[in-house]
Chains A and B, each alone.
Chain A
């Protein structure tokens, strides 16, 4: 008992001494900036949990090798939250309170990010580039919106753009949407409903549960409904299975996908069934000749990144890292969380990250509103439009 007391007292003493030396702005020291990332390392999206931070670290390493940001190197902590909102809250709490990170970055998932909003407001900590494209991220009326800087075009806007495009290429298009029945699908549906109201059309809607692998019923209903254009609000596996199912049924509408479906693995795995698949995209293709993709491929080669990892998701991690670094640059030599927010809010149609141009200001954290469309032709993804809104 006595020993226990001694231990407790000494720990208390040490921690009190430690308190005195704490930095003014958490997570920033002479030569390091600590940032926090929450990914899904062991849950339903664990593939992304490896790929996204790997892409980010590729760029952070490049920056650190070249002297860092204002002389400080960037170190990223990745926590696992299994794509679960409750676990994300715990992880973010840990990053903020225990690890004392400077800012949050790339936290994955819509409802996980929604769940941490109260924490952002409480700690006044910015979240740069949440790894979700839900339109709710840029909704300034939601709590803690002033701390969130989304880099992507919302799913709702994407859905509207796809419907517009379908109507443009075919006036008599009958449009259907197959959506995941979660927050992601919910947001897509919002865009679809807005378009319905605006254009006076009805869109056939079919839902599937997250993680489903059988889509025969949904495809059959689309076929019965006579849909000529089917929008898929899935991730990677779903569009592949849906298109293969449709091919087997002898049903060949124009398939279109929301941006999570733009991965090149879709074209690889879907084969002939995927031919002609159009997907919305937030960036120039990683294998295109723009500046950032070039740098990306160069760095990949230098770092010996395995072939299987390269792709649009890896590139996504890479490009959002560029946004973060730019924000940290603009935060000045003595960064604080407030300065980072002010710095981010000076972005004006900035297109240095190899994604669509970003604009933030105090009243609007919309970020981007445009996508390019890419289509699979002869098994290769090719851009078919410029940025469209």
Chain B
């Protein structure tokens, strides 16, 4: 009787997502002979998606802002590099262990989150980022300080994964799994608890939700996912240094989540896609255009465009890209009987 009454229609997108993920590299290969560059960009997007989905669970769902997420990424990356290349553990083992270690750091940073929130939590997590940078430099015996670390390519059951093409499938397999997993989490009691913590701590507590436990858990899971993306980053780029994980990157991640629409998994995915593509494809094109049209020296264009996009989104589209899509869908569903105010 109840069947299909409340089925998660967003899950219908998952076969489409998997289809697209499988199709795009081949389409690119057919379309352009610089496909390797685009696949590399897609790999970066995949790695970032794993992180931003995790960040969305923390900041979008549980409402705990983090401005130090690149640090979790760094922990995952360095831990895996050390475990695989120096301790000789197999990559598959490190793929599971390193994110857990990053998650444990998340657990630790979760303690201050029990006391502070909002801007203060943002500052605390930002400080955590600086501490991790210092820590990496201090442990130079393993990390080679700020000189950076060369990392081996991933080796799965004797097969070495090398090159953008192979990396793509590794990265996106995990990214799709993370997207599906995250949707499962947010549509269960854990997701409801996260949202209740964000919107009404009183209602959450009165409903029997242990605030401390769930806040810590959200930091753990978010840290783990950031760690996972760090592991992939280290092993697909083959080189990591402290400069890879600067605090600007953390802010980029928050921007991705906000632009996509905080509090929706697909929003984080869309936001990441949008920002990375904007950054690597559209801004350079725009720069060249402006350069030829007005001969402007456009070194600062990128940050300018970024600021502008952020500004416009927060003013006009606070629900992000995903919210925009939802409104659009309602608009077309009701077409032509759509009252105008629906689309504002």
A and B: bona fide binding partners = yes
Interface set of A (CB-CB < 8 Å, partner B)? 8, 11-12, 15-16, 18-19, 22, 41-42, 46, 49-50, 80, 83-86, 89-90, 93-94, 96-100, 110-112, 114-115, 117-118, 122, 136, 142-143, 181-183, 185-187
Q: Which residues on A sit within 8 Å (CB–CB) of B10? A: none
Out of B33, B145, B244, which one reaches A115, CB within 8 Å?
B244
Query: Given A85-B148, A186-B147, are A80 and B302 also a contact pair (CB < 8 Å)?
Result: yes
Q: CB distance A90 to B44 under 8 Å?
A: yes
State in angstroms the CA–CA spacing of A180 and B303 once bound together: 26
Q: Which stretch of B111-119, B176-184, B235-243 is in the interface?
A: B235-243
State in angstroms the CA–CA spacing of A41 and B302 once bound together.
10
Residues of B within 8 A of A (CB): 27, 30-37, 40-41, 44, 137, 144-148, 150, 163, 237-239, 241-244, 246, 249, 280, 297, 299-303
**Within 8 Å CB of A16, what residues of B?**
30
Please give, as numbers and ranges, the residues of chain B lying within 8 Å of A46 by CB-CB distance: 299
Q: A84-B246, A115-B237 are in contact. Are A22 and B33 (CB under 8 A)?
A: yes
A93 near B32 (CB under 8 angstroms)?
A: no
**8 other contacts beyond A15-B31, A97-B34, A187-B147, with CB at 8 A cut-off?**
A11-B31, A49-B299, A50-B297, A96-B37, A111-B241, A112-B243, A143-B150, A183-B241
With A42-B299, A80-B302, A122-B163 as known contacts, state yes or no: A111 contacts B243, CB within 8 Å: yes
A-chain residues with CB within 8 Å of residue B301 when the two chains form the complex: 42
Chain A residues whose C-beta falls within 8 Å of the C-beta of B144 in the assembled complex: 186
Query: Is B34 touching A182 in the complex (CB atoms < 8 A)?
Result: no
A100→B34 contact, CB < 8 A = yes
CB distance from B273 to the nearest CB of A (A): 15
Most buried by B among A11, A12, A115: A115
Q: List 26 A-B contacts (CB under 8 A).
A: A12-B31, A15-B30, A15-B31, A19-B33, A42-B303, A83-B243, A85-B243, A86-B243, A86-B244, A89-B237, A90-B40, A90-B41, A90-B44, A93-B40, A111-B241, A114-B150, A114-B241, A115-B244, A117-B150, A117-B238, A118-B238, A136-B147, A143-B238, A183-B243, A185-B146, A186-B147
A117 contacts B239, C-beta separation under 8 Å: yes
**Chain B residue contacts of A83, Cβ below 8 A:** 243
Contact (Cβ within 8 A) B280 A115? no
The residue that A98 contacts in the complex, of B37, B237, B239, with Cβ under 8 A, is B37
A33 to B44, CA, bound (A): 30
Can you name the residue of chain A whose Cβ is closest to the Cβ of B151? Answer: A118
Q: For residue A136, which residue of chain B has the nearest CB?
A: B147
Contacts of B280 in A (CB 8 A): 90, 94
Q: A97-B40, A122-B163, A183-B147 are in contact. Are A8 and B27 (CB under 8 A)?
A: yes
Cβ of A74 to closest chain B Cβ, rounded Å? 20
User: Are A111 and B148 within 8 A (Cβ)?
Assistant: yes
In angstroms, Cα B40 to Cα A111, docked, is 20
**Given known contacts A90-B44, A181-B146, A183-B147, is B241 in contact with A115 (CB within 8 Å)?**
yes
Q: Which of B34, B144, B243, B301 has the most chain A CB atoms closer than 10 A to its own CB?
A: B243
B137 nearest CB neighbor, chain A only: A181
**A98, B299: Cβ atoms under 8 Å?**
no
Name the B residues within 8 Å of A15 (CB-CB).
30-33
Distance in angstroms from A80 CB to nearest chain B CB is 6
- CB <8 Å contact, B148 and A114: yes
Per the bound structure, the CA–CA distance linking A94 and B40 in Å amounts to 9
- With both beta carbons as reference points, the residue of chain B lying nearest to A142 in the complex is identified as B150
- Which residue of chain B lies nearest to A41 when distances are taken between CB atoms in the complex? B299
Residues of A within 8 A of B249 (CB): 86
Asked if A85 contacts B299 (CB within 8 A), the reply is no
Q: With A and B bound together, what is the CA distance between A12 and B26 in angstroms?
A: 11
Is A85 in contact with B241, judged by CB distance below 8 angstroms? yes
Q: Which residues of B contact A183 (CB under 8 A)?
A: 146-148, 241, 243
Min distance, Cβ A251 to any Cβ of chain B, angstroms: 28
B238 / chain A contacts, CB cutoff of 8 Å: 117-118, 143
Which A residues touch B300, using CB under 8 A? 42
Closest CB-CB distance, A91 to chain B, in whole Å?
Answer: 9
A-chain residues with CB within 8 Å of residue B44 when the two chains form the complex: 90
B234 to chain A, nearest CB (A): 11
Cα distance, A8 to B26, chains bound together (Å): 13
Contacts of A12 in B (CB 8 A): 30-31
**In the complex, what residues of A have CB within 8 A of residue B40's CB?**
90, 93, 97
Residue B146 contacts which of A41, A50, A111, A142 (CB distance < 8 angstroms)? Answer: A111
In the complex, which residue of chain B has the Cβ closest to the Cβ of A14? B31
Distance between A90 CB and nearest chain B CB, rounded to angstroms: 6
Residues of A with C-beta under 8 A to B163: 122
Query: Complex Cα distance A142/B145, Å?
Result: 17
Q: A189: nearest residue on chain B (CB-CB)?
A: B145
Whose C-beta in chain A lies nearest to the C-beta of B237? A89
B37 touches A182 (CB 8 A): no
Report yes or no: B41 in contact with A115, Cβ–Cβ below 8 A: no
Contacts of A114 in B (CB 8 A): 147-148, 150, 239, 241
A121 vs chain B, min Cβ distance (A): 9
Specify which chain A residues have a CB less than 8 angstroms from the CB of B137 in the assembled complex. 181
Q: How far apart are the CA atoms of A100 and B299 in the complex, in Å?
A: 22
Contact between chains at B37 and A93 (CB < 8 Å)? yes
Inter-chain CA distance A19–B148, complex, in Å, is 38
In the assembled complex, the Cα of A174 lies from the Cα of B258 at a distance in Å of: 54
Cβ contacts under 8 Å, B244 to chain A: 84-86, 111, 115
Assembled-state Cα–Cα distance A140/B41 (Å): 30
Decide: A84 and B243 in contact? CB cutoff 8 A.
yes
Tell me which residues across on chain B come within 8 A of A98, comparing CB atoms: 34, 37
Q: How far is the CA of A118 from the CA of B244 in the complex (A)?
A: 15
Q: How far is the CA of A266 from the CA of B85 in the complex (A)?
A: 43
Nearest CB in chain B to that of A184: its residue: B146
Q: Is the CB of B146 within 8 A of A182?
A: yes
Question: How far is A122 from B147 in the complex, measured between Cα atoms in Å?
Answer: 22
In the bound complex, CA of A46 to CA of B246 (Å): 18
Cross-chain contact of A186 among B27, B36, B146 (Cβ < 8 A): B146
Tell me the complex Cα distance, A83–B248, Å. 13
| A186 to B143 Cα, complex, angstroms | 12
Structural contact, A186 and B34, CB atoms closer than 8 A? no
Known: A11-B31, A111-B146. A97 touches B241 (CB 8 A): no
